[in-house]
Chain A
Amino acid sequence: MIVKTPYREAVDVLVDEGGETLQLCYQCASCTGSCPWGLVRDFAIHKVIHEAQLGVVDFEDEGIWLCVACGACVNQCPRGVKLIDVVKAIRRTVMELGVGKMPSSLRVALTSIAGVGNPMGEAKEKRADWAKDMDVKTFTKGTDLLYFPCCLPCYDPLLKGIAGATAAILNKAGIDFGILGANETCCGEAIRKAGNESLFQSLAQKNITTFSENSVKKVLVSSPHCYHTFKHEYPDLGSDFEVIHSTQYLLQLIKDHKLEFTKELNIKVVYHDSCYLGRHNGIYDEPREVLRSIPGLELIEFPDYREDSICCGGGSGRLWVDTEKGQRFSDIRLKQAIDLGVEVLAVACPYCMSMFKDSQLTVDGGETVAVKDIAELVKEAM
């Protein structure tokens, strides 16, 4: 029989690292009940939280690295425990005290971000290559809008379409915008969730300084992860700019009649609420309104949609961790889309797109559904 003794010092460390709400937990386990891991394996997050309350967390447990920061648990918690922050505190302790180990593939991605500002390990200078053959200028003082595409669309050939479509739309609408290319670096959102606080701070400072030097006032992002950190985390570090997600911006363009649709798409589309747009930031309606305004587009909903949306599995650094087949949330979601008989699975997040495109390779019938960003659909109908 394993006997455990509570260890107060460990609790204090976790509280100091931002996990102070662990003290509120009254062990009801509604978090474990709502956690998406329950769909595919045993994972009791409530046990981890209680271990944190007692100071007996097993820092070497791989379970610490399972959390995808989807927010389903935080949404339901009756005591207001911010589980994502508690898990983050545990990971920070691992990083800073050297207890336990981060999964190696995650470590590689972080090293790459630290070195060249993107998780792919690609050269910093190539960050603006996606816009090479397009009419996209460099942002300078006085440009109205900064478009910040996110590392993935900049470098990943499968996701380039997001950035390309967005830029094309902005040009068509006559918006004065620019990009910073090699002068910007990864927003750092997933790095912070993965527990590397110092790397996050240095990335954020770099971006904040660059933006400030260029008098950036308003930033358009394609990724809800960038949106989230720019909106909620950068201001504490001194940033002073407005951030807007592409679905919000597109809706505004449509409402202001700056965009005109000339084609009818005639497709059935199901929209997947990404965790960072939906649960974390309450943006559920704008993406749907954009989709509904595209002529010939029939919008269908997943049975578990909006706050109940299932995470794609890419958050909190897990985009770069290998998940066993049979345990991938994106597989489940893609299967749902296939069963609904839609032509397109629409997303508004590059991480979701990356996860779903991966799933298409292994799930039966994966090729029958196209995975597209809302910006891409808008461009198709323009």
Chain B
Amino acid sequence: MNKFEPQIIAFACNWCTYAAADLAGTSRIHYAPNVRVIRVMCSGMVNPIYALKAFEGGADGVLIAGCHYVDCHYLNGPVKCDAMFEKLKNVVHTLGLEDERLRREMISASEGVIFARVIEEMVDRLKKLGPSPLKRAREEAPSLLKRAREEATV
């Protein structure tokens, strides 16, 4: 039986968090391999649909990370991201996903260590939570659909 390895999709802002992830790399800080990073210019650029599509695709966790309030290259990106995140949280909750699957962080360009730590923590947490319920639904969907069709033709 394969041990469950959660998949995390991370949206990282170019100026801060992506730079922090790079710094973790240059510092050779090892962390769990479960994250796939997508670079955006600002955490305020993250459209809620990105996170929802990630969960729909079966991701077990989504991380939206950007600058601290004082650091944003575009001044108020984090504030705008916060506003979006509040609403996104509710939608994710309504979908039946555990709150911890969606995480918001502020990681600045010099905080490579923190980036690695956040990933490790998330992986740890997600391992305990198990695979995303949407993933199971996705896997079961074809057979459910097949059964529904069979029942419909009867």
Direct A/B contact, Cβ within 8 angstroms: no
Q: Which chain B residues have a beta carbon within 8 Å of chain A's beta carbons?
A: none
Q: Which chain A residues have a beta carbon within 8 Å of chain B's beta carbons?
A: none
